Structure 1
């Protein structure tokens, strides 16, 4: 129990912070609370509150939550199942429970000018999530998240609404830049590291959007039809890892329907899998459309596992109050018990994270922003993916003239739009970075180059981009630069394309350029990162977290956005969804490909791609040896873990990083299985001329698949091939087989 002396100490500290908050990190800061709301932690309230059990920090979060619940009236319980003032969890003023402030996104704290109850003024724009995935660096993901957590603590963010962990099923998906790519294992590993980094500091993460919310096309009325096998093998694993390994304290459900159930009332998935099977006791909140598009199904909410409706629960609250008032005593008891469960899951996360027990803002954390620039730069550098290099990169620092072409938009594109947009500060553009590195006189920016401009350039850097964001999808073939590049290449073939975006693109022009860098959305330090990679100060080490197909017609998601009348439709904002629903009702989106998305699809159908999953070049060369196993024979009974070892050598002329990827292939494929699946990866750094042994430990679960017939995970006896290499198609050592008996 907290003493009065401790309370006085906390009060002094709080007053100091309010005074200190007028100046932060060299900048004047406005009043952070403009709606006269008391954000004080529980221990700063009066003795009658501070001496209650729920104020005792020595008790478990569960005990504290139930102590609050027993003191709530029915109206308060209903109130605590919905959001307040758009981006907050409501307070219980008479019990001293403060509101909890939420913020977007995954790659930093998004500033919303419309937030008046809590003002966020300055945050770092880290590289987008898809760029973080391209680093294939789990340690970096952990540090990245810790840095963002510092800024959440500084500015009073209790829950950060990310990471986004939907699958890159669709190469036109508008929010793909917010996610971690096409593979559930890669997504899971980055997710767990991110969550541990952020929640280790007491900031709640909210992995989203549960589940199969992989396109923006009429997302509020889209009904995804997906098999149990695909859910278990592709779409559920990242959420399972987030809960079971990362210990996330919140999950956000999608606006879409799945197999006929609304995202925010999907009992088979939310209650039966997340709650019962995975044992999740935290917040399960809706996306911000709440129950708007299914007001006739409000009876599904109670018992669904959902605990919080955002941005508010007005429809649900009205429904429950009417039902409660008319109910008999037994029905009232049932309704109240269900509400208690919903409220418990919300309070449990807030108590467990410490949100209720700390000051809203710890302003001194804002001084850490200058250090966060370094992490943002490192993440940007490691994400940049070199896809083609025909003896043109790196650029010699004595280069005579670099001609910079492309649109201004491409040269200033560092983040996507929508809830994932983070503005940052001190943003460095590629042009600025290039001039700092190579000198003002050597870098020439021209919008409409003459033939002489092109002819006289030592190297031409052509910047291209596609926008990305919430509420719309992006045409795969909307980047029309082929004719321009062909014309330029006839005059000067020394062209390097730098493409920023969240999705792949067709590249009919690739033969006309000597270099290609995929730069994703690199955040505020992107200009420095690009210059460092182009100059060779940093050796590129990014690997594609998704496959780039040659044509969108090759994709398993082709024709996903065709309406019943044959119209191709791209939009996904609320008014668009309402318009489409009025015309056609719910729009079914069948995931006919099942488990076969990304490289699984292209392998199965023997489709040649432009660049495979896991691919990325370096300025040096790596050699990966034939793998070995800790077995005397080629038979493994599965009773012990299997250790796979390979030797990696840097045979080139410079230091560099390589990501070693391990895939498993079932040779006697009996269970409708992918040809191969990523099961392990490790990123290492090697100086030139050195070698390192890399080891991976496998267990029986790595060889399993979901049997729909038996409704469980299953491992078939037979032969398996272990493949180790530098991408999903560059697996040099594929001749090791094992028999599980």
Structure 2
């Protein structure tokens, strides 16, 4: 290859594809977002339909490695249907803070659980020839100033917590690609850190795959290539626009370009694209819905649901709901299917089944009543109506037109001849007002916009535009106006033009029009009354993709709006009430003492309503166990706004990981706190007992493997699942360590009366810590406690062994 051809491979040709080299028959390699589906080239709201899988935290709740591997296989098929051979997934960052807006994408607060599930996901995906891209490497644990902030992480915490899942995905999973984080790590951008990409990833872990930047996350030409960043995305090259010139002048840069080009070619070869290149055009993307994938998503959604509480009412546990009863389904998340979070993981799901639909399908429509009671949306909902877009020239002439569905538009591929950074557009939709009354209209945009109704300007977001929290920080905040309208039809027009941002990231253009009639005061009371008239009530509360999204962090742990008041009122009206929570992380529950049953449903993918109904009605056992500690109060979280800003969310361009090793349950143990619900917690519809634990040796030498066998018996009358968790405690360690650390787990499914021996395997790394003085992994000789149970607060079995030698 010529040097020019080599350089061309090191930046994308467009938003999703690498640059082809026609002379040598080297095709474009197409990538697609991940991690909960394969979106294709479309925008976050305008892509072709595709399968929506449970989000990361819901999959983390399954604690099921075999299931994650199976999901990886199905995601590979979805990816290939979109003409892509690389999926930008899985997300391997940890839950350092409960307020991270992107926690829903990741698996867990624990590095071993995250790594083990990530390994399975990677292996399943790559078994079908689709590359996994483990991200965001490393230290992207919040969204605050994520493009520039320096995550200042102590070495032991970096090695033992934040790097470990990536290490497992690379060394055990064999990941073919890694995506660097936007952030800096201890002062240096991850995308150009020689230590991170060279010393650790390449040399220590023997990574032979491709390293790509996050979108717009490349900050230099030759320096980033020399550091070990192979591919700048998206393209065409921006940070690397001068790379060829630099390479012609500098031999070291030329050598680095050659290595990076080989890494790009190796990924094209590994995915089979040299011999069977895919059609990477958006027109060739398929939107096939597969019955076996739909079934898998339903099963996975149910297996990730966590039964937090299930007290007896009239002598029997409230759940599962009995047959032949009437159920009132109440709340803002009842008839609206919350299947995913917001941001780059968004996609156009084949289906969106709500809890109301799922329960009506299972119980019959006549047995299920419904009321909303209150709203929980952060922004006014969009209108599902056609919107006509005209692209205008300098004199107002129409250059091109298109029609899209829905009152939110994100621009990706524009009509031919329309400049992405300077176009003008006029968007027109017809608003149907069913009855005379007061309504709310809203507008926000990444770009300048203004909205008029029947020719009269209502919202000016053009002359008064200010940056806000929408659209990854490129958009304004929402502007709302209340208008009085008669019944009938109205023409709504929005004028739009891009706003170019000088921040090193490609311009982003989008606009959203919201519309809603304010809720009458009687809605709350009517919902409570309806709940009291049914045999059982299911109150569906939580958040949605407005609140849980890439680009901004959560504002607290309280449910939005007056949902807590709705839950309390429904509990007072009907003692047989189940609280169904759908959030991307923990929330406070001031009504918990009064609630007999609480089910955490997360965002479980397109079959949400069916999966949750399966659990509520006892068709399947609730298979989920918490992958994240639910703190009793925000101040019990290891990082929260009451602490110095430099620890969270950050100050003066730095966020200091002052808590070190102590996040999640490690923090709970260190400070002797009582969580709302502990890490690993989850109830079943049956009960289990653990027998006598056996180990292959009580005198362990670190060049061997240790096998731990735990007999588990289903002592109830129903089939069910549990997760056997093994934590290691090292009281004789030379350096300070958390009181216990998860080092092995297995999920087991048992019929009534059945017993199974569960095998847990440990090795040197299960007992080791990172000695940041000697820069080596160490396991000190001495006593080790193996704590075995069904949650981090349940160490019902204790086995003591002794490490005999140090290596």
* C-alpha distance in structure 2 between counterparts of 1:623 and 1:637, whole Å: 31
Q: Which residue of 1 aligns with 2:368?
A: 443
Q: Of 72, 76, 92, which residue of structure 1 is paired with 2:21?
A: 92
**What is the Cα-based RMSD across aligned positions, in Å?**
2.4
CA–CA separation in structure 1 for the residues paired with 2:62 and 2:649: 33
| Residues in 2 aligned to 1:538 and 1:469: alpha-carbon distance in whole angstroms | 30
Q: How far off is 1:412 after superposition?
A: 1.8
Note the alpha carbon deviations across 1:197-230, whole angstroms, 9 max, x for none. 1111111110100001011111001110001111
Aligned residue number for residue 537 of structure 2 = 460
Please point out which of 197, 206, 223 is paired with 1:300. 223
Matches within 5 A, 1:353-392: 353-360=271-278, 369-390=290-311, 391-392=317-318
Structure 1 stretch displaced more, 510-519 or 482-491: 482-491
Distance 2:571 2:276 in 1: 60
CA distance 1:421–1:668, shift in 2 (3 Å): same
Which of 264, 276, 282 is residue 346 of structure 1 equivalent to?
Answer: 264
- Note if contact 1:217-1:473 (Cα within 8 Å) is conserved in structure 2: yes
| Whole-angstrom distance in 2 between the partners of 1:156 and 1:656 | 40
Q: CA 1:366 to 1:201, structure 2 compared with 1: closer, same or farther past 3 Å?
A: farther
Tell me, yes or no, if the aligned pair for 2:99 and 2:557 is still in contact at 8 Å: no
1:239-250 equivalent positions in 2, closer than 5 A: 239-250=166-177
Alignment TM-score, normalising by the size of structure 2: 0.76
Is structure 2 residue 4 aligned with structure 1 residue 75? yes
Separation in 1, partners of 2:357, 2:631 = 33
Instruction: Map residues 186-585 of structure 1 onto 2, 5 A cutoff.
Output: 186-291=113-218, 294=219, 298=221, 300-312=223-235, 314-324=237-247, 327=249, 331=250, 333-360=251-278, 369-390=290-311, 391-399=317-325, 401-408=326-333, 411-447=336-372, 448=523, 449-450=525-526, 452-467=529-544, 468-479=548-559, 480-559=562-641
Which runs of at least 4 in structure 1 moved beyond 6 Å after TM superposition?
A: 362-366, 560-564
Match among 657, 661, 667 for residue 601 of structure 1: 667
Higher helix share: 1
Q: Which has the higher strand share?
A: 2
Contact 1:649–1:691 (Cα < 8 Å) also in 2: yes
* Secondary structure at the counterpart of residue 89 of structure 1: coil
Structure 1: gaps spanning 5 or more residues:
1-70, 571-583
The match for 1:581 is: none
TM value normalised by structure 1? 0.83
Counterparts of 2:139 and 2:778 in 1: how far apart (Å)?
A: 24
Q: State the partner residue of 2:53.
A: 126
CA contact (8 A) 1:224 1:590 kept: yes
Write the deviation string for residues 505-533 of structure 1: whole angstroms up to 9, x where unpaired: 11122112111111111111111111111
1:102 aligns with 2:20: no
Question: 1:457, 1:144 → 2: CA distance?
Answer: 38
> Which whole-Å deviations, capped at 9, do the CAs of 1:98-129 have from their partners, x for residues lacking one?
111110011111244359xxx97332111111
SS of residue paired to 2:34: coil
Tell me whether 1:614 sits opposite 2:539 in the alignment.
no
| CA displacement, residues 678-721 of structure 1 (integer Å, 9 cap, x when unaligned) | 11111111111221121222223211111112210001111111
1:359-406 CA-to-partner distances (Å, cap 9, x unmatched) read: 41599997672211111111111001000011210000111x211111
Shift of the 351–112 alpha-carbon distance from structure 1 to 2, 3 Å rule, reads closer
Q: Secondary structure at the match of 1:496?
A: strand
CA distance in 2, matches of 1:298, 1:673: 41
- Shift in Å at residue 158 of structure 1? 1.4
CA distance in 1, matches of 2:364, 2:196: 57
1:41-56 aligned within 5 A: none
455 and 501 in structure 1: CA distance in 2 versus 1, 3 angstrom threshold: closer
Number of aligned pairs?
Answer: 640
Further displaced range: 699-708 or 305-314? 305-314
Q: CA deviation at 1:299?
A: 5.4
Distance in 2, matches of 1:693 and 1:535, equals: 30
Q: Deviations over 1:130-182 (max 9, x none)?
A: 11111111111111110010121222111110001101111111111111111
SS of alignment partner, residue 146 of structure 1: helix
Deviation of residue 75 (structure 1)? 2.6
Give SS of 2:356's match. Answer: helix
1:592 matches 2:665: no
Counterpart residue number, 1:33: none
Partner Cα separation in structure 2 for residue 374 and residue 361 of structure 1 = 28
